[in-house]
Amino acid sequence: MEENFLWGGAVAANQCEGAWDIDGKGISTMDCFTGGSVKQQREYTEGVVKGRYYPNHEAIEFYYRYKEDIKLFAEMGFKAFRLSIAWSRIFPKGDEQQANEKGLQYYDDVFDECLKYGIEPVVTISHYETPYHLVEKYGSWLNRSMIDFFEKYCETIFKRYKAKVKYWMTFNEINTMIEYPWFGSGIKSCDEQQKYNAIHNMLVASAKAVKIGHSINRDFKIGAMIFYPMTYPNTCNPVDNLKAMKDMDSHYYFSDIQIRGYYSNKARKFLNQKNIVLNMAPDDLSVLKEGTVDYLGFSYYMSNVASNQNDLQMTSGNLMNTIKNPFLRETDWGWQIDPIGLRISLNQLYDRYQIPLFIVENGIGAIDQLEDNGEVHDQYRIDYLKEHIEQIKLAVEDDGVDLIGYTMWGCIDIISAGTGEMKKRYGFIYVDKDDAGKGTLMRYRKDSFYWYKRVIETNGTMI
Ligand code: BGP
């Protein structure tokens, strides 16, 4: 890989920090998601309800333990660490004029700790963590005022951290808005007209953020970020291929606009056919054109299958269920493991956009066993990551894809976003905590910790 390839790991504030109401932080949407499981969806409550269990409230207390954790990342040799800033630590309600200094100082300290070890922070500006007050008072992104609030938030953090952070991305998996607007932005319910206007507001806000960021530091690299559900047709039947194409078009809708800077022919046709009218301000289209991103970040865990039939066997996946693929193994949570699919995804995205790509999430959620001697033998995680990194190398070295870096998802065990579980572990580092919130929160290096250290040391040659 390139000498400056950004090997690292990724987390999100709401899934690791805890300290949900400390040092001035306001309630965020994710603070209102109860614990759940594969069988029982997380409940999004009206605010924080006394007596309910919210796993994100304590999470793994990264807020207090970040020095210990970043030291462990440095021991692995991380070049980059992807994390998010909790918007409601900076603006507790989201519509204030004055930022919360304790929140700003916290991230100053975290970035300083990263830079002490030569680790590049890669910052997600909004990772499912909308200030809950903005939902209650304005209806979140249904309201165009959010563009101004987001702009204020971005300008504040860009100015504050302009000498410490170079890599940014605006919205985590913005295409989550298709199926889960409450997850992506806290919107409790909306029809298609409202949903695609909320998405339009987010896209305009993202473009404005890019423009502001580049005016504050022209060296900033600001990316878009989608989850990439690369999809195969179930058969060579043309109708299955058409379905696979259409399914992917619904996701390209987001990255097309953020990378190309305009609503494509397909996007406009889609909106027309749904009778969706966007409430545009006069300069929205020029803002989208001027605020195109510098790179595309994406998450990849598994691949999907599309068919015109609807009586086929299904399995679960990241943010969406899919048809079972008989050629693929599944994780304990039913996600289909497809390393070659990652090479295909890299080719599809690079062929389409010809801009640098960044894998900002990839990993396997599994049930890990902490042995009495403090070891965790997670050979299945080494195998998963090894198989995917092999394909990444082929995409770069054989197919010529321009890839900035790879931040493995959940580099330390954290709260699962989809299920709220701790037992769905991703990390190179085991955290002693269970689904009921019990545990010492002590950290333990897994076998994969030492394996990844060698991968980074050899820049991907020894995997
Ligand atoms: C992505 C989110 C991450 C992370 C990941 C794994 O959609 O961006 O926040 O959670 O999925 O999913 P889960 O935690 O549900 O296993």
Taking the CA of residue 173 as reference, the ligand 1 atom at the shortest distance is 8
Number of domains in the chain: 1
From 409, 412, 414, the mutation candidate for ligand 1 (largest count of ligand atoms within 8 A of CB) is 409
For the entire predicted model, the pTM comes to: 0.98
Tokens of 358: 């960044």
> Contact, 459 vs 406, CB < 8 A?
no
pLDDT of amino acid 37 = 80
Note whether residue 462 is domain-resident: no
pLDDT of amino acid 62 = 98
CATH number of the domain to which 443 belongs: 3.20.20.80
Helix, strand, or coil (residue 227): strand
CA atoms of 245 and 346, how far apart (whole Å): 17
pLDDT of amino acid 337 = 98
Note whether residue 1 is domain-resident: no
Note whether residue 158 is domain-resident: yes
pLDDT tens-digit map of 117-140? 999 999 999 999 999 999 999 999
Note whether residue 308 is domain-resident: yes
Q: Could you give the residue ranges of the DSSP H alpha helices within 317-428?
A: 339-353, 379-397
173 catalytic? Reply is yes
From 173, 318, 335, the mutation candidate for ligand 1 (largest count of ligand atoms within 8 A of CB) is 318
* Active-site pick, 113, 173, 371, 421: 173
Note whether residue 364 is domain-resident: yes
Note whether residue 50 is domain-resident: yes
pLDDT of amino acid 57 = 98
Helix, strand, or coil (residue 206): helix
- Give the pLDDT band of residue 351 (cuts 50, 70, 90): very high
* Average pLDDT over the chain, rounded to an integer: 97
Res. 319: pLDDT tops 90: no
Backbone angles phi, psi at 434, to 5 degrees: -115, -175
CA atoms of 34 and 45, how far apart (whole Å): 8
Note whether residue 176 is domain-resident: yes
Minimum CA distance residue for ligand 1 atom 5: 417
pLDDT tens-digit map of 178-218? 999 999 899 999 999 999 999 999 999 999 999 999 999 99
Using only C-alpha atoms, what is the Rg of the chain?
21
3 catalytic? Reply is no
Taking the CA of residue 414 as reference, the ligand 1 atom at the shortest distance is 14
- Give the pLDDT band of residue 413 (cuts 50, 70, 90): very high
N-to-C CA span, the chain: 12
Residues with CB under 6 A from ligand 1: 12, 15, 172-173, 227, 299, 318-319, 361, 365, 409, 416-419, 424
* Active-site pick, 3, 361, 397, 457: 361
Domain that holds residue 431: 6-457
From 416, 419, 435, the mutation candidate for ligand 1 (largest count of ligand atoms within 8 A of CB) is 416
Note whether residue 28 is domain-resident: yes
Res. 230: pLDDT tops 80: yes
Tokens of 161: 């951290």
CA atoms of 115 and 139, how far apart (whole Å): 38
Minimum CA distance residue for ligand 1 atom 2: 417
